[in-house]
Chain A
Amino acid sequence: QQQVKQSPQSLIVQKGGISIINCAYENTAFDYFPWYQQFPGKGPALLIAIRPDVSEKKEGRFTISFNKSAKQFSLHIMDSQPGDSATYFCAASPAAGNKLTFGGGTRVLVKP
């Protein structure tokens, strides 16, 4: 049972464009929604995270939008750069404890 569904599996964007990755969850107990970035041959690293008491969080060129009623959240990468080429994972965990459920990942390629 995949509790966090992520789409698309891959996307190609031109330098300067916007990358958009979407995630949907089922478990209403989820209370923390991080995004992880993974470069080839490396472990994932936290990029940005949001809690459901806000609808949007922005850090530099990265923005999370959160829709609690639809149980959906998305990552927007503005002004995409070739250095942003990586695999991005959304995840979710309940308020108590720290067991993350990950989406399937999106491989992003930014063409120069």
Chain B
Amino acid sequence: NAGVTQTPKFRILKIGQSMTLQCTQDMNHNYMYWYRQDPGMGLKLIYYSVGAGITDKGEVPNGYNVSRSTTEDFPLRLELAAPSQTSVYFCASSSPQGASEQFFGPGTRLTVL
């Protein structure tokens, strides 16, 4: 099993551009999450999904959109990129059995200039 995979690994965007961060998991997990990690700030939840077709906002959703058309995929869309979105983005997944281990992908380092 590959676990949680993310593409791309690195990306530089210009202000105002848009892009999609891809996330795929092969563990048949219902729950999926997107976090951003900024230095000294831990991980902040952007969006999460409890199953295909169901998404909800996390702590810092502004400037982002998500969709969940399949169990495996949970892409994160950035519209009109801003320097404040420079961060490392992590996708994670978990089983729906109450509070349980979240499995993280390797991350995407995004720079907006």
Is A55 located at the chain interface by the 8 A CB criterion?
no
- Scan A16-45; emit 1 where CB is below 8 A from any B CB, else 0: 000000000000000110100000011111
Cross-chain contact of A104 among B42, B90, B98, B100 (Cβ < 8 A): B42
Question: Count of A residues near B, CB < 8 Å?
Answer: 27
Main secondary structure of the interface of B (DSSP, over half): loop
Contacts of B1-47 to chain A: CB distance below 8 A: 4, 31, 40-45
Is A11 located at the chain interface by the 8 A CB criterion?
no
Binds B, one of A62-70, A76-84, A94-102: A94-102
B58 touches A98 (CB 8 A): no
B42 touches A31 (CB 8 A): no
User: Which residues of the other chain, A, contact B96 by a CB distance below 8 angstroms?
Assistant: 98
Cross-chain contact of A100 among B40, B41, B50, B102 (Cβ < 8 A): B102
B107 touches A9 (CB 8 A): no
A94 to B98, CA, bound (A): 9
User: Which residues of the other chain, A, contact B58 by a CB distance below 8 angstroms?
Assistant: 99
User: Which residues of the other chain, A, contact B42 by a CB distance below 8 angstroms?
Assistant: 4, 6, 89, 102-105
A98 touches B102 (CB 8 A): yes
A45 to B90, CA, bound (A): 12
A95 touches B99 (CB 8 A): yes
A45 to B42, CA, bound (A): 14
A43 touches B101 (CB 8 A): no
Is A93 located at the chain interface by the 8 A CB criterion?
yes
B residues sitting closer than 8 Å to A (CB atoms) are: 4, 31, 40-45, 48, 50, 58, 90, 92, 94, 96, 98-102, 104-107
A residues sitting closer than 8 Å to B (CB atoms) are: 4, 6, 9, 31-32, 34, 41-46, 49, 89, 93-105
Given A43-B107, A98-B31, A102-B42, 18 other A-B contacts at CB below 8 A? A9-B40, A34-B101, A43-B90, A43-B104, A43-B106, A44-B90, A44-B104, A46-B102, A89-B43, A95-B99, A97-B50, A99-B45, A99-B48, A99-B58, A102-B43, A102-B44, A103-B42, A104-B42
User: Can you list 5 A-B pairs, Cβ within 8 angstroms, ordered by A?
Assistant: A32-B99, A45-B104, A89-B42, A98-B96, A100-B45
